[in-house]
Amino acid sequence: MTYVEIETGTYDVEIALAYGTPENFTGQPVYKNSHCFLHQAAAEKLERAAELAARHGFHFLIFDALRPSEAQWALWNHTPDPDFLADPRKGSPHSRGVAVDLTLLDKDGIALDMGTAFDAFTPRSFHGDGDISIAAQANRLLLLGIMSTAGWDFYSKEWWHYQLFDPRSYPLVSDQELAKPMMT
């Protein structure tokens, strides 16, 4: 399996892995060591998306990428909500290294208004939600357009989540398989 570490110096992205800090819905760090990995195929599509975003004066802030299976279990055990978390028995696209949670930053490094925060487990997080401002709707459409053009699929209930098509064709990844473990 080929997993690539996504680093700010290599990709035009900022990285702030939410599950490496207590600033997430669990209120505590899930990752002991914050490393941002993607499967090689996803890393290539992220690079293409970053190029497209840069053409329009934007770059990405990554909230999460590869999430070891052990982390998926920790999240599920805290909040077993199938609308916003994949059941770890089935496996998440994150736990296969083929999903990324992100937003757009402007040229000054300020996140665009997307109408909700990352991991806001509410219908307002759905793509196409009409209860958010017109500006936030436009920003979501901009993100969706960039990611779709770069070859990513989206999850309709989370404006921040993008994944490769057919994610189950990729194997699940456990923490001990990573070159730099995240959980231990």
**Could you tell me if residue 12 is inside a domain?**
yes
11, part of any domain: yes
Q: What is the pLDDT of residue 96?
A: 98
Q: Kindly report, residue by residue over 71-111, the tens digit of the pLDDT.
A: 999 999 999 999 999 999 999 999 999 999 999 999 999 99
Distances (CA, A) of 169 to 39, 91, 176: 12, 11, 21
Whether residue 182 lies inside any domain: the answer is no
Q: What is the distance between the alpha carbons of residues 153 and 57, in angstroms, rounded to a whole number?
A: 23
Q: Is the pLDDT of residue 6 over 90?
A: yes
pLDDT tens for each residue of 134-146: 999 999 999 999 9
Please indicate whether residue 158 is annotated as part of the active site. Answer: yes
pLDDT of residue 1: 64
Domain-embedded: residue 165 = yes
Q: Is there a domain that residue 89 lies in?
A: yes
Range of the domain at 13: 3-177
User: Is 71 part of any domain?
Assistant: yes
pTM: 0.97
- Return the DSSP state at 111: B
pLDDT at 31: 98
pLDDT tens track for 17-42 = 999 999 999 999 999 999 999 999 99
| Domains held by the chain: number | 1
Average pLDDT of the chain, as a whole number: 97
Active-site hit among 14, 51, 158, 177:
158
Residue with tokens 């490769």: 164
CATH code of 140's domain: 3.30.1380.10
